[in-house]
């Protein structure tokens, strides 16, 4: 490596001058001996002694995910991976497409370096089964799937392998919370670890009954109730809401139904438990609002009620042309006309 050789006391001034003139080779580390220093240069430099010695190359530190993977993947592949990141507390879950599975370890290590979180897991299946969880494969960091996720000032403890949780619903939860008024009696029919109840009860003085069939989810919700300073009150039940709700001797001002694949099959239970004028926050997977609105109307009609649709939203895209949609319906007395 071509270097300028200077007495040690001139090393710093020379380095600055060579850098300013664009003559220094920035890919290598400067070497300091006992009497002389050696500065790597790109070309011969007038007025200096030039020598040829071995220098250590400088390790470049990658600044972002793309830089960490630029030698392995195309920029499109990197961008697709980056948008698949779900960060839950100090855990990152990512989706690696089939054609990149051979590079999963490199990708996992890069994600760990880039995100500086505790653990990286890879999705191994779709969300499935009654309790709506997916298989995960540990890729990098520390294999500990328990974490605390912070959302809208609430702390949500969970095990990403045992329960359903999506950070992508944060905006929806805030929207629902903001529409809740103090004093409401609320039923969350499919509460999971309780993100809706916790975020609502943290901000509103309400009474919430939260039900889930997954024992682990209810265990974490019980912990989350203790972890957060709540204005409202939450009572938990573990079991099938169709059975559990038979013991409720109260009606509700609001019912939350976030089980989008199957919520429609529980609409008969919900319309039975809602007060007149109460709101059902109903969710389903669909390419339109029409199907959900018709299902709500039909469930209400079956018990001689009507529904006024007060809001519809696309919460998130689930596959091309299909959405997780939200429909807020106010259940009312049927008018005569």
For binding to ligand SAM (CB under 6 A), which residues are involved? 130-132, 164-165, 169, 190-192, 195-196, 211-214, 217, 240-241, 258-259
Compare residues 212 and 253 and give the one whose CB is closer to ligand SAM.
212
In sequence order, what are the residues at sequence separation of 6 or more whose Cβ sits closer than 8 angstroms to the Cβ of residue 123? Answer: 93, 94, 95, 96, 134, 135, 136
Distance from C-alpha of 209 to C-alpha of 187, rounded to nearest angstrom: 5
Q: Which is nearer to ligand SAM, 121 or 196 (CB)?
A: 196
List residues bridging with 158 in a β-sheet. Answer: 147
Minimum Å gap between C-beta 237 and ligand SAM is: 9
> Nearer to ligand SAM by C-beta: 115 or 214?
214
Structural Rg of the chain based on CA atoms: 29
Residue closer to ligand SAM by CB (options 17, 167) is 167
Tally: H helices and E strands in the chain: 10, 17
Nearer to ligand SAM, 38 or 165 (CB): 165
- Any bridge partners for residue 98, and if so which? none
What's the closest the beta carbon of residue 197 comes to ligand SAM, in angstroms? 9
DSSP secondary structure letter of residue 167? G
Smallest separation (angstroms) from ligand SAM to the CB of 181? 21
**Alpha helix ranges (H) inside the chain:** 11-20, 65-69, 75-83, 104-115, 170-179, 195-203, 215-227, 241-244, 267-273, 290-302
Place of tokens 């294999």: 143
Identity of the residue, 6 or 193, whose beta carbon is nearer to ligand SAM in the bound complex: 193
The DSSP 8-state label assigned to residue 58 in this structure reads: P
Q: Give the shortest CB-97-to-ligand SAM separation in angstroms.
A: 24
Per-residue burial over 65-87, b = 16 or more CB atoms within 10 Å of its CB, e = otherwise: bbebbeeebeeebbeebeeebbe
Please report how close the Cβ of residue 161 comes to ligand SAM at its closest, in angstroms. Answer: 14
Tell me how far, at minimum, the Cβ of 118 lies from ligand SAM, in Å: 21
Closer to ligand SAM by CB, 134 or 305: give it.
Answer: 134
C-alpha 290, offset from chain centre: 29
**Closest CB to ligand SAM: residue number:** 192
- Residue closer to ligand SAM, measured from CB, 64 or 317: 317
Shortest spacing between CB 194 and ligand SAM, in angstroms:
7
User: Partners of 136 in the beta sheet?
Assistant: 123
d(CA 86, CA 290): 30
Name the residue among 218, 336, 200, 335 with its Cα closest to residue 255.
200
| Smallest separation, CB 31 to ligand SAM (Å) | 57
């Amino acid at each position: 490596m071509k270097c300028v050789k200077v007495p040690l006391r001139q090393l710093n001034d020379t380095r600055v001058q060579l850098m300013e003139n664009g003559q220094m080779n920035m890919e290598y580390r400067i070497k300091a001996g006992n009497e002389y220093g050696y500065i790597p240069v790109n070309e011969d430099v007038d007025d200096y002694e030039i020598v040829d010695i071995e220098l250590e190359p400088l390790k470049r530190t990658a600044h972002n995910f793309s830089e960490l993977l630029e030698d392995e993947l195309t920029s499109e592949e990197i961008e697709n991976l980056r948008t698949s990141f779900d960060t839950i507390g100090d855990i990152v879950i990512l989706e690696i497409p089939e054609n990149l599975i051979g590079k999963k370890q490199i990708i996992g290590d890069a994600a760990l370096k880039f995100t500086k979180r505790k653990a990286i897991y890879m999705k191994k299946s779709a969300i499935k089964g009654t309790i709506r969880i997916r298989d995960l494969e540990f890729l990098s960091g520390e294999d500990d799937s328990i974490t605390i996720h912070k959302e809208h000032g609430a702390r949500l403890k969970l095990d990403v392998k045992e329960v359903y949780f999506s950070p992508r619903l944060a905006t929806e939860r805030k929207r629902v919370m903001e529409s809740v008024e103090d004093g409401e009696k609320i039923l969350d029919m499919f509460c999971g670890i309780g993100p809706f109840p916790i975020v609502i009860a943290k901000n509103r003085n309400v009474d919430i009954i939260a039900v889930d069939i997954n024992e682990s989810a209810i265990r974490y919700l019980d912990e989350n109730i203790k972890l957060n300073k709540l204005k409202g009150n939450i009572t938990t039940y573990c079991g099938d809401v169709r059975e559990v709700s038979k013991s409720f001797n109260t009606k509700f001002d609001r019912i939350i139904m976030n089980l989008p694949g199957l919520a429609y099959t529980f609409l008969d239970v919900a319309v039975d438990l809602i007060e007149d004028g109460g709101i059902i926050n109903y969710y389903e997977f669909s390419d339109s609002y029409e199907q959900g609105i018709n299902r709500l109307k039909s469930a209400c009609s079956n018990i001689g009620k009507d529904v006024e649709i007060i809001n519809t939203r696309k919460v998130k895209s689930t596959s091309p042309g299909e959405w997780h949609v939200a429909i807020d319906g106010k259940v009312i007395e049927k008018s005569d006309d």
